[in-house]
Structure 1
Amino acid sequence: MRFFFLFSLFACTVFALDIKMASSTVSNGKTALLEFKKEKNISYEDIALGNKRYKIFKNPLNDEMFYALIPIDYYEKPSDKKVEIYYKQGSEQKSKSLFFRVESANYEKETLSVDGSKVVLSKKDQQRASKEYVEAMDVYKKTTMQSYISSEFIIPLDSKITSDFGKARVYNGSLKSYHGGTDFRAGEGEPLVACNNGKVVLSKDRFYSGGTVVIDHGHGIYSCYFHMSELGVKEGVMVKKGETIGLSGSTGRVTGPHLHFGIRVAAQQVDPLQFVELMNKNIVKGIK
């Protein structure tokens, strides 16, 4: 009997999934991260949160680990969430549930005065803005299975933050949107650098974001740099972390020169500073 008990305990230990969540609570607009330890005879596939699926990727810097990112929608209300993890044990399809809590970030409001033509749009500008939105979302929805990340993320400009992610934005007295990135103080023409290695997938002037560069880092992660006065890279080129990609400016819908820095995960806007801290602490930990 004792032998049978010990064998049963051993068998349960062998086939138990080693899963760690960076935090059991995540605020709206931020990113949740799950880590999975490499296990013999286990093949990780993806995870489900509601009707959305997110891929489980091999950690690009640790052959013994896998990870998944879950972007929490800005408009998500406080609630308990269940994540279903799908994997194969040999040829057998299995799943495991994990729970976490979404809490409110309690974002503030800010009032901005901008050129009226950027708030009440002409038909021509509406068509342009709509076309550019579709174009950008087509980019963000693509997932490059290769990761270009080889070290920790950095912030593209060493400067004071002038507007945090998530603030509800009132333009000329009318609530229009929320702030989908973090703004950094910058004069006209200051060099901006890539936050990590990647491929430039968008480099052009856009109606709202002005001079824009978007970098694909792989695994559904994109970094965004808006309002540039000069674009320093072309679409399709590979860039290294810390490489200058353009100059700061005041193009697009702005009140003055600055850098808007954003991150997209699985096409969703997330708090870029929380994302950088999360990745550096969990995925690229110990890498120098």
Structure 2
Amino acid sequence: MSKKASLNFRFRYLTRTVLCLFAVCSPSLFGADAVLQRLPAALLVPGGAAVVPTASDAIRGEYKGERVLLARFEGEQYAIIGIPLSAKPGLQTFTLDNRAGETETLGFSIADKAYTEQRLTIKNQRQVNPNETDMTRIQAESAEMKAAFRSWDEALAPTFSMIPPVDGVRSSSFGLKRFFNGEPRAPHSGMDIAADEGTPIVAPAAGRILATGNYFFNGNTIILDHGHGLISLYCHMNTIDVEVGRQVIAGEQIGRVGQTGRVTGPHLHWSVNLNNTRIDPALFLAD
């Protein structure tokens, strides 16, 4: 591709993407409960999301080997794509398959974002440098969660407007560059909301309980499937009040705030996954 053609390609799809960020989708998207609202303009960054208009006959999309959520609104179809924190600034491409068996490549451009640092002191040194036994457990738990995050439920109608899962104070935002006891660790993959131990935690949107468990780092954890690759995660809970397979509605209690796993105090760690990619949960909260 020539430099001129590359620039034209980039401009074309960046323009289409920015324009569609101001779309508001009606409840007819997937069902009576599915509402796609305008996402913030600062989406096209690592850890954000892209909303790209597509051909109406597209039936399946893929981005970085993961299936893409497709949604309709007023005769238009959109690909809604989670952008990983590891993504580099510049042009991103994804593919769409149509009913005729043809494949089309589309693109969108992302800008860089400088996430700030957070330095925490963890009293339990094993939570910073696990021993061999701990690592065996951690690897098994990681495999379980990775499998859950790749779930794709066609029957569930995803909702893109969520309510806060707990009444508290945001103590850590998404994407922070983290250091535990001075040692660098993976960026923060969710939002932390500090609250008193025992504070009720509710489902921010309707879905099905995909998995529950007690994990080394995450403590008491719930994974909630909202459908079509939109999945949320709730960690460090005191109690888990739902069982696997249960259907919940927005606002229904699923557990209580605790301080299990790797923590510095009672809080809820809340993550949102789209196309098996952790993205900023704040994108789904009402203004």
Mapped contact 1:227–1:259 kept (Cα < 8 A) = yes
Q: CA deviation at 1:149?
A: 3.5
Deviations 1:159-205 (A, max 9, x none): 22110000011011100111000011111100010011100011111
Which secondary structure state, in structure 2, belongs to the residue aligned with residue 142 of structure 1? coil
Give yes or no for contact 1:152–1:196 (8 Å, CA) kept in 2: yes
Which residue identity is paired with 2:185? K
Counterpart selection for 2:246 from 221, 227, 237 = 237
Cα separation, partners in 2 of 1:238 and 1:211, compared to 1, 3 Å = same
Aligned residue in 2 for 1:200: 209
Q: Which residue in the other structure is 1:57 paired with?
A: 70
Query: How many angstroms does 1:36 deviate by?
Result: 4.5
* Residues in 2 aligned to 1:69 and 1:112: alpha-carbon distance in whole angstroms: 34
Contact (CA 8 Å) 2:61, 2:70: kept in 1 or not?
no
Q: Which residue number corresponds to residue 103 of structure 1?
A: 111
Select 1:32's aligned residue among 41, 47, 50: 50
> Secondary structure, in 3 states, of the residue corresponding to 1:86?
strand
Q: Which residue number corresponds to residue 44 of structure 1?
A: 58
CA distance in 1, matches of 2:160, 2:68: 21
Aligned-partner Cα distance in 1 for 2:107–2:20 = 10
**Structure 2 equivalent of residue 252 of structure 1:** 261
User: Over residues 226-267 of structure 1, what are the superposed CA-to-partner deviations in whole Å (9 max), with x where a residue is unaligned?
Assistant: 100011111111111100000001000000001111101121
* Distance in 2 between residues matched to 1:92 and 1:141, nearest whole Å: 24
Q: Report the CA distance between 1:58 and its aligned residue.
A: 4.2
State the 1:150 CA deviation.
5.8
Q: CA deviation at 1:98?
A: 3.8
Q: Percent identity?
A: 27
Q: 1:158 to 1:66 in 2, by over 3 A?
A: farther
Q: 1:92 to 1:199 in 2, by over 3 A?
A: closer
Paired residue type of 1:47: G
Q: Which amino acid aligns with 1:46?
A: R
Question: Partner amino acid for 1:26?
Answer: L
Partner AA of 1:102 in structure 2: I
Gapped regions of structure 1 (runs ≥ 5): 1-17, 282-288
Equivalent positions of 1:62-211 (< 5 A) are: 64-88=75-99, 91=100, 93=102, 95=104, 97-114=105-122, 115-149=124-158, 152-211=161-220
- Residue 270 of structure 2: aligned partner: 261
Contact residue 143 and residue 266 of structure 1 kept, 8 A: no
For structure 2, the residue ranges without an aligned partner over 5 or more in a row are 1-15, 22-40
Considering only CA atoms, is the larger Rg found in Structure 1 or Structure 2? 1
Question: Could you tell me how far apart the structure 1 residues matched to 2:111 and 2:218 are?
Answer: 30
Partners of 2:176 and 2:20 lie apart in 1 by 27
Cα offset for 1:142? 1.8
User: 1:8 matched to which residue of 2?
Assistant: none
Higher strand proportion (structure 1 or 2): 1
In 1: Cα distance, 2:159 partner to 2:147 partner = 26
Cα distance in 1 for partners of 2:52, 2:155 equals: 19
Secondary structure class of the residue paired with 2:44: strand
Q: Please, what TM-score do these two structures have when normalized by structure 1?
A: 0.79
SS at match of 2:77: strand
Which stretch shows the higher mean deviation, 76-85 or 208-217? 76-85
In the superposition, the TM-score normalised over structure 2's length comes to 0.79
Q: How many equivalent pairs are there?
A: 251
